[in-house]
Every structure is written in C-alpha cells, then in structure tokens.
C-alpha cells in the first residue's frame, strides 16, 4: 500500500471533550460551547463527555460523574449542539480509548508527561486531593489517545491546553516513526485551534468557577439568576444611590461590555459616573439581555429533561458512531503492531 492512512484534510475533523465534574455555567457556554456551535457547522465534529478524565481528579468520588453527566449532555443539546451535525458520545462507552492509551503508554517517555505545565500547576491548585497517581500523570496521554483515535486534524483549545496538543503531536510522530514507513503515517499531527478566551467574569469579578461560588448555571431558574445579579458586588464607592461610581471597578460593567448595545453602554457608563442611575437600574439592563440569552436555553433544557429516552437515544447513537470510527483506527493500530490475531 503506498497511500497514507491519513484522512483527506476536508472537512476538517475536530475532537473536543468536557469533564462532567459539576453543573455547566455561563463561563462554559461563552468559553467552550459557543465555539463548538460555530465549529459544528463546517467541520466534522466529535464531542465527548470525558468521564474517565473526571476520575483522574475525582477518583474518590465517582458518584459526581454519574450525577452530572446527563445534566451536562442536556446542556449541550439545549444550547444547540446538534446530533445531526456532530457525534456526541461518552468516553467510557468507547473502550478503545483505554486500549490506545495503554499502547501509547509503552512508547511515551516519562519526561514528556512530567514536563506538561498543567501537571505541576494542578497538583499545586488541588492540594486537597492526592494527585500523585499514575492516572493523573498520564491524563494528557489519555487525551492524546482521545484525539488520535479519531485522527482529528484540529483540537479547539485555550492557551493552557496547547502543550497537551503538542504532546499529542509528539506521540503521533513517535508512533509513526517507530512503526510505519515514512510515507505511510497512521496518525496525523493535529493542530491547536486557539479559541478566543471568554471575557466573561464571575459574579464577583474573578474567573467564573464553581469553586469560587460565583457562577450563573445554565440550568438554574430565572429567579435564582435574577437574585444573583441583583446581589452582585458593585463599585464599593457607590455606598448610597447618590454616590458616583467608576464602571471599570465593577464586574457588572464587564458583563455590559459583552451583552449591552453601544447606546446602553454609554448610558450606563455616564449614569454610573454621574450617579444619574442606581446600581439596580444598571443591573436591570443586563438582566434583560441575560434573560434573552438564557431563557430559550432553559426552556429547551426543561423539554429535554422530560424526554430523557430521546436524550439517551441520541447519546447511544453517538456512542455507536464513535465506536465504529474508533474500531477503524484500532484495527489499523493492531495490524501495525502485528496484534491483529483474528482468532
């Protein structure tokens, strides 16, 4: 065979996943899902619930995966991730990922994993968990297996994930070099598709994160969202209604920059500085936009939640499609390693 096993470049194949470790919030929507929505229109996308990845840090609490995985999948569908356009699946339902991870572990030098920047960062950040495990060190390699399983051309990532794609490229190169002829590589080297970072802060101005308790969850009720926004901290200089403020010192203003029209922004800005408006008036403008964005998602979410059989069916079909593709790759891998025994 003289042709390469690498798939033709178009349409570009994309692989991306999300760990089911908690309820999705607006930060996930703006930072990840909005990008997926764009990608699914003109790429061949595989989106997966990374339940094994969740266990690399939450191995002591596996129940959290079971609790959150369906909520997360419903959120994906509710925002418009479309099973007609992409493959939606659960990682552990495609056990080939574990097989490829194992095979890659034989050829991956330990220092490649030890030098991944997120390894030391996360151990530092998650001190309450014992992450001195084999699985945690190896999770970027499991990611490499996830990506290369579908011979993805591109992986949408934030800045901090670029080294993981770089590792994947090295693993692909090493596999191709060790086992394939130079003109017959099995794995393409995927590109990092650097996604614009979400500019949305949390309700207290820090990064939106469940560990800071500053999120607007996609699945919460409007009443809860309204209450959270109404009690958002504002510029501390505005103690009384007649005290002027500085929008740049207020997280509400950061939300306005993302949600409000230019006219609304200049009105709010001027009104804040002159104390012409109160903080509640200012927040009302924002609430109107949040309601427009969130309420249709929440309505679809509520409908989906009452049709769980349909949701399960969508995921079941996605799992099947992913398994077919994964088996295609594993068949080539096993033959390459002379392990296609066929007994």
Rounded to whole angstroms, the Cα distance separating 77 from 313 reads 13
* Total site size for ligand SF4, rule CB under 6 A: 14
Q: Give the list of residues 6+ apart from residue 23 with CB closer than 8 angstroms, or none.
A: 68, 71, 72, 210, 217, 218, 219
Strands, E, within the chain: which ranges? 13-18, 44-49, 86-90, 154-157, 191-194
CB neighbour burial string for 140-168, b if at least 16 within 10 angstroms, e if fewer: bbbbbbbbbbbbbbbbbbeeebebbbbbb
49 beta partners = 18, 90
Q: Under the criterion CB under 6 A, does residue 167 sit at the interface with ligand SF4? A: no
Q: Give the list of residues 6+ apart from residue 93 with CB closer than 8 angstroms, or none.
A: 319, 322, 323
Q: Under the criterion CB under 6 A, does residue 238 sit at the interface with ligand SF4? A: yes
Assign 3-state DSSP to the chain and report helix, strand, coil percentages, each to 5: 60, 10, 35
Residues within window 71-110 making contact with ligand SF4, judged by CB under 6 A: none
In Å, how far from its chain's centre is CA 293?
Answer: 20
HSE, CB side, 13 Å, CA atoms: give it for residue 265: 11
Residues 115, 175, 17, 118, Cα dihedral to 10°? 0
Smallest distance, ligand SF4 to C-beta of residue 246, A: 7
Q: Under the criterion CB under 6 A, does residue 140 sit at the interface with ligand SF4? A: no
- Of residues 45, 51, 83, the one with CA closest to residue 65: 51
Q: Under the criterion CB under 6 A, does residue 279 sit at the interface with ligand SF4? A: yes
Q: Is 338 left (phi over 0), alpha (psi -120 to 50) or beta?
A: left
Q: Under the criterion CB under 6 A, does residue 255 sit at the interface with ligand SF4? A: no
Q: Under the criterion CB under 6 A, does residue 48 sit at the interface with ligand SF4? A: no
HSE, CB side, 13 Å, CA atoms: give it for residue 250: 25
Could you tell me which stretch among 22-30, 277-285, 298-306, 315-323 binds ligand SF4 (CB under 6 A)?
277-285
Smallest distance, ligand SF4 to C-beta of residue 275, A: 8
Could you tell me which stretch among 170-178, 243-251, 288-296, 302-310 binds ligand SF4 (CB under 6 A)?
243-251
Nearer residue to ligand SF4 within complex by CB, 12 or 234: 234
Q: Under the criterion CB under 6 A, does residue 203 sit at the interface with ligand SF4? A: no
Could you tell me which stretch among 10-18, 22-30, 111-119, 272-280 binds ligand SF4 (CB under 6 A)?
272-280
Q: Under the criterion CB under 6 A, does residue 25 sit at the interface with ligand SF4? A: no
Residues within window 281-300 making contact with ligand SF4, judged by CB under 6 A: 282-283
Pick from 29, 253, 255, 259 the residue near ligand SF4 by CB under 6 A.
253
Nearer residue to ligand SF4 within complex by CB, 185 or 201: 201
Smallest distance, ligand SF4 to C-beta of residue 276, A: 9
Could you tell me which stretch among 125-133, 166-174, 250-258, 313-321 binds ligand SF4 (CB under 6 A)?
250-258
Q: Under the criterion CB under 6 A, does residue 234 sit at the interface with ligand SF4? A: yes
Could you tell me which stretch among 1-9, 82-90, 114-122, 275-283 binds ligand SF4 (CB under 6 A)?
275-283
Pick from 81, 142, 252, 322 the residue near ligand SF4 by CB under 6 A.
252
> Residues in the site for ligand SF4, rule: CB under 6 A?
234-235, 238, 245, 247, 250, 252-253, 268, 272, 277, 279, 282-283
């Amino acid at each position: 065979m003289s042709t390469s096993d690498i798939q033709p470049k178009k349409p570009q194949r994309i692989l991306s996943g999300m760990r089911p470790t908690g309820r999705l919030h607006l930060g996930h929507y703006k930072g990840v899902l909005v990008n997926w929505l764009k990608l699914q229109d003109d790429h061949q996308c595989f989106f997966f619930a990374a339940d094994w990845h969740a266990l690399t840090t939450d191995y002591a609490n596996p129940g959290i995966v079971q609790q959150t995985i369906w909520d997360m999948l419903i959120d994906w569908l509710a925002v418009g991730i479309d099973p007609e356009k992409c493959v939606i699946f659960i990682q552990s339902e495609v056990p080939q990922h574990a097989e490829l991870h194992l095979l890659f572990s034989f050829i991956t030098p330990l220092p490649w994993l030890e030098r991944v920047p997120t390894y030391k960062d996360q151990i530092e950040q998650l001190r309450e968990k014992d992450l001195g495990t084999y699985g945690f060190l190896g999770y970027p390699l499991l990611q490499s297996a996830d990506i290369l399983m579908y011979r993805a051309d591109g992986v949408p990532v934030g800045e901090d994930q670029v080294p993981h794609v770089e590792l994947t490229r090295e693993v692909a190169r090493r596999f191709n070099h060790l086992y394939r002829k130079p003109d017959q590589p099995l794995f393409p080297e995927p590109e990092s598709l650097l996604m614009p970072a979400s500019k949305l802060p949390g309700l207290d101005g820090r990064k939106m994160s469940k560990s800071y308790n500053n999120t607007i969850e996609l699945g919460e009720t409007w009443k809860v969202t309204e209450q959270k926004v109404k009690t958002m901290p504002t510029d501390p200089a505005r103690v009384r209604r007649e005290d002027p403020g500085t929008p740049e010192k207020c997280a509400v203003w950061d939300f306005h920059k993302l949600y409000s029209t230019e006219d609304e922004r200049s009105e709010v800005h001027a009104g804040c500085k002159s104390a012409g408006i109160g903080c509640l008036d200012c927040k009302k403008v924002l609430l109107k936009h949040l309601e427009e964005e969130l309420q249709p998602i929440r309505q679809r979410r509520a409908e989906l939640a009452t049709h769980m059989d349909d949701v399960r069916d969508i995921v079941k079909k996605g799992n099947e499609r992913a398994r077919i593709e994964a088996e295609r790759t594993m068949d080539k891998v096993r033959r390459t390693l002379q392990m296609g025994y066929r007994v």
